[in-house]
Amino acid sequence: MTGIPAFDRTNGEAVDVCLVVEGCYPHVAGGVSSWVDWLMRSQPDRTFAILSVVAGPGPRKPLYDYPRNLLRLDEIVLDPAPPKGRSKVPDQTDADVLISAFCDVLSKGNGDALDRVVEFTSRKHRPLRPWHVGDTSLMWAVACGVYERVTPQAGFSDFFWAFQALAGGLVAILSAELPRARIYHAACTGFAGLVAARASRQHGQSCILTEHGIYTNERRIEIAMAEWIVDSIDYGLSPDDDRIDVRRFWINSFESFARICYEACSQITTLFTDNQTLQQALGAAPERLRLIPNGVDLDRFTPLVASPPNGPPTVTLLGRLVPIKDIETFLEAVVLARREVPELQAIVAGPCDEDEDYAQRCRALARKRGIDDIVSFPGRIKAEDAFARTHIVVLTSLSEGQPLSVLEAGAAGRPCVTTNAGACREILEHPLDALPDVGPGGIVVDILAPNQVADAIIALFKDPSRRKRMGHSLRTRIENGYTSEQAAAGYSALYAQAMNSSVSVEPAAPERERPGDTITQERMA
């Protein structure tokens, strides 16, 4: 199995910005990956490095052409394959120090404790490495020690695997080599946020954070829904039960990671105001918070505004086929809407390879509900192509950041029906600062409510003038608050400010040769 080949064209010079991303660019299409690609291209005068945090050794392949100002790319594998032969582990006598450090990092979000773990990972002699976690008597003692202190009533098996993932990932992050950069810019909290925090704490580098969705919240939803975690503590109805089971341990750990990241970052940006409330609740200092909404290239979509579609009434959901997008609710809504709009056609356009089982389930549902003749799954296609035959854009996500598909729909003058997730309501309904009220750009419904989605679709098809009015309103909203130029200017100012406060550039360790360097550099050339 292979990951993305690393490359380095910095010639030993520091780049302006090291973007730290987790589980997205360059091997996942859409979402934050698209934003990363756009961000680098929108700042052509700045140089970038990418640190891509990934779960395992692969296989992965890049889905984007690298921009010219991306000079270096490395992966940090959270659970890397151990090297051949035995590597020496820290002494068993260090167990107590490590137990305290891991407890403080994982359950208290204590940045000083992070430094104590860094002492172990940066030692010249017997450094701690991620493959030691779970595979040495020292780290077994540490796992048992953390368990006894933090979750002594929880099921041990699930705790062990949670600790394996969290502590192993933490050690991987803290033992990875960081590219030289003036600013470290994390695209989320979690492990990526810890990289930025480490750069700040260890080297005094300027570090900023941009959260699209709130990582901690997304993990919370994921963990709350996880069937692979067994609930071994019955909390009953007691809100004050301070026992910690494995679900809480997971969530507490991600909250702790977020706290460490927020504490380290001088600027914390997000896409919409609701997110800032959550960030503050997790410990982000209000004075560091900023809003930089995503932007969309209006020119790409302007021709569509001028020529609305003539074909059959069509609704499109543009997004990855993954559970968090709740495609099933969309399909159920299509079933209901078809009763009132018999000519209805539906498109689910987005990559299917991220969760193939879910994609299969969606196709099976369409067949089962008898709508496979009106629903198409064309895979990943250009938004312009999809919108050219679309009347209404639908988004049924359970959780969102600031969905690009809604911005693009607005740029194309298409009204939207969205769930009340992320920035959707803000984009569609909130008053604009510099303009008179232009009316809503679509209809916002509850999550997991196919009836409401269907009703909204029906209402817009039954009232073409309302549909057109909403499409026009959304276009106006995008023009006035969500253009690429505005977003690029926001990040440019952010970087300028961060660079002014950046004090030093830590010299990098001598570069190791990586397999794949040559190939990648040739390809880049």
Q: Where does this chain bind other proteins (CB under 8 A)? A: 79, 81-82, 131, 134-135, 137, 140, 144, 147-148, 152-158, 160-161, 164, 228, 230, 232
Q: Which amino acid is at 365?
A: L
| Diameter over CA atoms, the chain | 75
CB of 250 to other proteins, least distance (A): 13
CB of 133 to other proteins, least distance (A): 8
If one counts every other C-beta atom within 10 angstroms of the C-beta of residue 302, the result is: 13
Residues in the chain: 525
Rounded Cα distance, 467 and 456, in Å: 10
CB nearer to other proteins: give 241 or 517: 241
Tokens of 243: 């026992």
CB nearer to other proteins: give 36 or 143: 143
CB nearer to other proteins: give 44 or 82: 82
CB of 516 to other proteins, least distance (A): 22
CB of 224 to other proteins, least distance (A): 17
The angle, 0 to 180 degrees and rounded to 10, between the axes of the packed helices 356-368 and 327-340 is 20
Cα–Cα distances in Å, from 319 out to 29, 238, 322, 427, 452? 10, 39, 8, 18, 20
CB of 129 to other proteins, least distance (A): 13
3-class DSSP state of 185: strand
CB of 19 to other proteins, least distance (A): 28
CB of 144 to other proteins, least distance (A): 6
CB nearer to other proteins: give 137 or 302: 137
Angle at 321 between CA 318 and CA 323, to 5 degrees: 120
3-class DSSP state of 169: helix
Residue whose token pair is 């790319």: 73
CB nearer to other proteins: give 153 or 277: 153
CB nearer to other proteins: give 151 or 267: 151
Rounded Cα distance, 177 and 216, in Å: 25
CB nearer to other proteins: give 22 or 245: 245
Report cis status (omega within 30 of 0) of the bond before 239: no
CB nearer to other proteins: give 10 or 232: 232
CB nearer to other proteins: give 157 or 518: 157
CB of 337 to other proteins, least distance (A): 41
Closest CA to 27 of 52, 56, 61: 61
**Beta carbons within 8 Å of 135's beta carbon, 6+ residues apart:** 82
Closest CA to 408 of 271, 297, 291: 297
CB of 153 to other proteins, least distance (A): 6
β-pairing verdict for 70-77 and 7-8:
antiparallel
**Beta carbons within 8 Å of 425's beta carbon, 6+ residues apart:** 418, 444
